[in-house]
Structure 1
Amino acid sequence: MRAALRAPGFRRLVLVWTLINFADSLLFLTIAIWVKDLTDSDSAAGLVLACLAAPALLAPFTGHLADRMSRRRLVTIAGLVAAVVVLALLVTDRLWVIYSVTLVYATIGYLLAAAQSGLVRDLLPDEHLAPANGLLTTIDQGLRLLTPLVGAGLYTSIGIGPVVATTAVLFAVAAVGMTTVRLTETPPAPDDRSVTAGFRHLFGTPGLAGMTVALAAAVGATGLTNTTNFAAIEVGLGKGPELLGVLASLQGVGAVVGGLTAGLLVARFGELATAALGLTLLGLGAATTIGTSLALICVGLVAAGVGVSWTVVAFVTLRQRLTPPTLQGRVSAASNMAINVPQLTATLAAAALILVVDYRLMIGFTVLVILAAATSVAVQRVDEEVPA
C-alpha cells in the first residue's frame, strides 16, 4: 500500500476519490429518508433505492464513454455535473424532480467507477494494483459505514438543504482536484468503438470469466439476505428491526479490515485463492444467521465483511491486470452489471419468497451457492497473457 502511495498521481486520486465517496455516502440514504418524510410512503422511499440501482442497466454505455475520452477529464466533468444536478433539490421537493436527480446522480456514480479502473491501471504497475484497490475499498467501506449516519443526522437536525449543499461542494472540490492528478493516459483505440466489447472480454478471458460467473451467482444469492436478515432478527433473535443497523455496522468494520489486508493476501496467494477464501468467509458468516446466538451472528457478520473485501479486491485486481488499458472502462462497467443485476433480481424475488418459504431455508440456499462459488473460483486457472 505504501508503494502505491509513493506515486504522486495515485495519492491525488485517493484524495479525489475520498471526496467523491464522502459526497455519495452523505446523500444516498438521506434522500430516501426525506422522501419518506414528504410522503409517509414506504413505496415512495423504496423507489429512491430503485433509482439508485437502475443505472446499472446502462453499464455498456457508461463504460463505453469511459473508454472513449480522457478519464481524468471525464471525472472532472462528471463531478461538476453532479454538483449542479444535486442543487436542484434545493429548489423543489417535487417527487419527479427528486427521482430524476437520483437517477442522474446514480448514473454518474457508475460512470465514475468505470473511469476509476482505467485511471488506477494507468497510474500503477501490476504489482501495486492489489494494495491500491485494497486502500480504495477501505475508503469506500469506511465512508459507507459512517457517512450515511452523518447525512441522516444533519437532515434530522437542520434539514435537507445543508446536506445537499455540502454534497455539491464536495463534488465540485473533487472535480477541481482531479485536474491536478498527473498521469499519462492510454489513448482510446481509434478503431474500437464496440459497446459490447467489455462483455466479450469479461466472459472470454480464462479465469476472469469463471470468477465473474461465480461472483454473479454468489452476490446474486446474497440478495436474498436483504429480506431474510429482518426475519433472522425478529424471529430468530426475538429482537426489533433496529438491530439491523448495528449488525450492518459490524459487517462494515469487517469490510474495512478486509480492505486493509487484501493486498497482502493477493501478493502472497494470488487473486483466485484470495477470492475463494473471501467467498468462504462470506458463506460461513451468512450461515450464522440461521441460528439464534447473537454473539455468533456478530462474529459471523464481521467475518462476512472481511470476506466481501477480500473477494472484491481480488476480482478488481485480476480484472485490471487481464484487461488492456483501452477496455478498462467497458470491462469495469460490464462486471458491475453482471454482478449487481442478479443481486437486484434476487432481492425482488425474496420479497415474495419470504411469504411462503422458511427464512432459514433461504439462508441455507444462499450459503450453498456462495460456497459452491468459492469452490469454483478455487479450481480456476488464469491465462496471464494480457492483450495489448
Structure 2
Amino acid sequence: MRTVLGRPDFRLLFVAVLASMAAESILLLALAVWVKDLTGSDGMAGATIFAIIAPMTLAPLVGWFVDRYRRRPFFVAANLGAAVLLTPLFAVRGQADVWVIYVVAALYGLSYITLTAVLSGLIRHLVPSELLADANAVLQTVRQGLRLVGPLAGAGLYAAVGGWLLAALAMAGFLTAAAVVGLLRVTETPPSGADLRWPAELGAGLRHLAGEPALRRALLGYGLGSLVMGFTESLIFAYVDQGLRREVAFVGVLVTVQGVGGLVGALLSATVVRRTGEVGALAAGVTLFGPAALALAYPRLWLGVVALLLAGLSLPLTMVGLNTLVQRRTPPALLGRVAAASEALVSGPQAVSIGAGALLVGVLDYRLLFALVGMITMAAGAYLWHARHLSPPPPSAPARIPAPRRPPPSVDHEVAVATRRSRGR
C-alpha cells in the first residue's frame, strides 16, 4: 500500500474519495432515521434503504453514460451533482415532506452507482496493473474504517443538529471531492461517444461479464453466496435478543467488532490477491463467511465475537478481489458499463436476501437459518476456489536492481596509482 500511496496522483484521488465516502457513510443511516423520526414507522424507515437500492436496475444505462466521457471531469461532475441533489432536503419540515427524502434517497442511490463506475475507470487510468490490488485495498481500508464510525456518527449528528445541517455536511464532503480531483493533471483520450449507440451498446457490460470466463465464474459464485448473506442483516437481531438475551442496542457492539475485522481484511487483501489471484481472494472472502455464520448458530458471546471478526474479514477480500478482476479483465472503453453491471449483479441478490431474511426469521429458527447461510456460502466459496486458475496471481512490480558495488582497490593497485602520480610530477 505504501507504494501506491507514494504516487502523487493517487494521493489526490485518495483524499477525494475519503471526502466522498465520508459523505456517503453519514447519509446512509441518517436518512432512514430522519424518516423514522417524522413518521414513527419502522416500515417507512426501511423503505428509505429500498429507495437507495432500487436504482441498481438502471446500472447498464448508467455505465453506458459513464463510458461516453473522460473519467476525471466526469468524477468531478458526479460529485457536484451529488451535492446538488441533496438541496431538496432543506425543504423537509414534517411528515408530509417524507416523499422528498425518498426522492433524494433514490437520486443518491443513482449517484452512488455512477461514482462507483467512474471511480473504477479512474483508478485503472491512474494506477499500473501491478498496483491495482493495492489501490483497491487502500480504498477498502477507508471504507471499512468509515463503516466503524460513519453511520453512527450520522445518526448522532442528526439527533444533535437535525437533518438540514447533516445534509450540509454531506454536501461539503462531495464538494471537497470534486475540488480535489479537479487538481489532478491526467491525460485522457476522449471516448468515441458518437459510436456508442444505446440499443447495441447498453448491454455490452453484461455481455462482457458473461463472455469472460473468470468474471463469469466470479459473479456466479459470489451471486450464489449473496443470495443468503443478506439474511444476517435480520438474523443478527434475533441472535442478540433470543440467543444472547441482551438489549437490541448490543447489535451496535457486534457491528463495531465486525468493522474491526473489516479493517484487518482490507489491510491484508492486496497480499491475498498477490498470493492467490483475484478469484482466489474472492473465494477466500466468501468461504470465510461460512464458518462465521455457523458459529452464530450457537449463541455464545466469545464465539460471536470470533464470528463477527471473520465476517468482517471476508467483505474486503471479496470486494478487492472482484474490483481488481473487473479492472484487469475489462477494456478501458467498457469499464464503466462492466463496473456498474457487476455492482448491480452483486447488490441485487443482497437486497433480495435482506428482504427474504426479514420474512424467514419470523417463521423459522434463526439458528437453522444461520446454519443454512454457512453451508451455502462455503459451497459458493469452494466453487470459486476451484476456478482460481482463471486469474493467476498478478505479476509483481519490477524490483529495483542496485548497481554493482566496485570492489575495494587492492594494495598493489594503490601502489601502482601512487607511482604513476609521482612520475607525472
Whether TM exceeds 0.5 here: the answer is yes
Which segment drifts farther, 312-321 or 83-92?
Answer: 83-92
Residue 376 of structure 1 deviates from its aligned partner by 0.8
Q: Distance in 2 between matches of 1:383 and 1:169?
A: 40
Asked which structure has the greater CA Rg, the reply is 2
Counterpart pick for 1:241 among 237, 248, 253? 248
Contact 2:26-2:150 at 8 Å conserved across structures: yes
Contact 2:277-2:391 at 8 Å conserved across structures: no
Match of 1:270 in 2: 277
Does 2:360 match 1:353?
yes
Contact 1:122-1:184 at 8 Å conserved across structures: no
Q: Distance in 1 between matches of 2:331 and 2:146?
A: 30
Residue 383 of structure 1 deviates from its aligned partner by 6.6
Q: How many residues align?
A: 384
Match of 1:176 in 2: 179
Q: Could you report, residue by residue, the CA deviation over 1:354-378 in whole angstroms, capped at 9, with x for unpaired residues?
A: 2322222211111111111111111
Q: Given the superposition, is the C-alpha separation of residues 232 and 175 from structure 1 closer, same or farther in structure 2, using an over 3 Å criterion?
A: same
Give the letter aligned to residue 134 of structure 1.
Answer: A
Contact 1:237-1:293 at 8 Å conserved across structures: yes
Match of 2:288 in 1: 281
Q: Runs of at least 4 residues of structure 1 off by over 3 A?
A: 189-193
Counterpart pick for 2:139 among 136, 141, 144? 136
Q: Distance in 2 between matches of 1:31 and 1:24?
A: 11
Contact 1:186-1:325 at 8 Å conserved across structures: no
Q: Distance in 2 between matches of 1:303 and 1:319?
A: 25
Which segment drifts farther, 91-100 or 321-330?
Answer: 91-100
Q: Distance in 2 between matches of 1:237 and 1:197?
A: 49
Give the letter aligned to residue 60 of structure 2.
Answer: P
Q: Distance in 1 between matches of 2:185 and 2:275?
A: 30
Q: Distance in 2 between matches of 1:345 and 1:106?
A: 16
Match of 2:170 in 1: 167
Match of 2:390 in 1: 382
Does 2:298 match 1:291?
yes
Give the letter aligned to residue 74 of structure 2.
Answer: L
In angstroms, what is the RMSD of aligned CA positions? 1.5
Residue 189 of structure 1 deviates from its aligned partner by 4.5
Q: Could you report, residue by residue, the CA deviation over 1:250-273 in whole angstroms, capped at 9, with x for unpaired residues?
A: 111111111111111211222222
Contact 1:186-1:326 at 8 Å conserved across structures: no
Q: Distance in 1 between matches of 2:319 and 2:151?
A: 22
Residue 192 of structure 1 deviates from its aligned partner by 4.1
Contact 1:16-1:174 at 8 Å conserved across structures: yes
Residue 44 of structure 1 deviates from its aligned partner by 1.5
| Superposed counterparts of 1:7-46, under 5 Å | 7-46=7-46
Does 2:241 match 1:252?
no
Residue 318 of structure 1 deviates from its aligned partner by 1.2
Which segment drifts farther, 346-355 or 119-128?
Answer: 346-355
Does 2:102 match 1:95?
no
| Superposed counterparts of 1:284-323, under 5 Å | 284-323=291-330
Give the letter aligned to residue 147 of structure 2.
Answer: R
Q: Given the superposition, is the C-alpha separation of residues 383 and 139 from structure 1 closer, same or farther in structure 2, using an over 3 Å criterion?
A: closer
Contact 1:285-1:299 at 8 Å conserved across structures: yes
Q: Distance in 2 between matches of 1:272 and 1:86?
A: 38
Give the letter aligned to residue 386 of structure 2.
Answer: V
Unaligned runs of 5+ in 2: 393-425
Does 2:117 match 1:110?
no
Q: Could you report, residue by residue, the CA deviation over 1:8-34 in whole angstroms, capped at 9, with x for unpaired residues?
A: 221111111000001111122111111
- TM-score norm. by structure 2 comes to 0.87
Match of 1:220 in 2: 227
Q: Distance in 1 between matches of 2:307 and 2:265?
A: 14
Contact 2:293-2:374 at 8 Å conserved across structures: yes
Q: Distance in 2 between matches of 1:330 and 1:314?
A: 18
Q: Given the superposition, is the C-alpha separation of residues 383 and 240 from structure 1 closer, same or farther in structure 2, using an over 3 Å criterion?
A: closer
Match of 2:152 in 1: 149
Match of 2:349 in 1: 342
Contact 1:133-1:316 at 8 Å conserved across structures: yes
Q: Could you report, residue by residue, the CA deviation over 1:342-365 in whole angstroms, capped at 9, with x for unpaired residues?
A: 111122122222232222221111
Does 2:335 match 1:328?
yes
Q: Could you report, residue by residue, the CA deviation over 1:78-107 in whole angstroms, capped at 9, with x for unpaired residues?
A: 211221221221122311111111111121
Give the letter aligned to residue 101 of structure 1.
Answer: V
SS in 2 for 1:68: coil
Q: Distance in 2 between matches of 1:302 and 1:134?
A: 18
Contact 2:68-2:196 at 8 Å conserved across structures: no
- TM-score norm. by structure 1 comes to 0.95
Which segment drifts farther, 188-197 or 4-13?
Answer: 188-197
SS in 2 for 1:177: helix
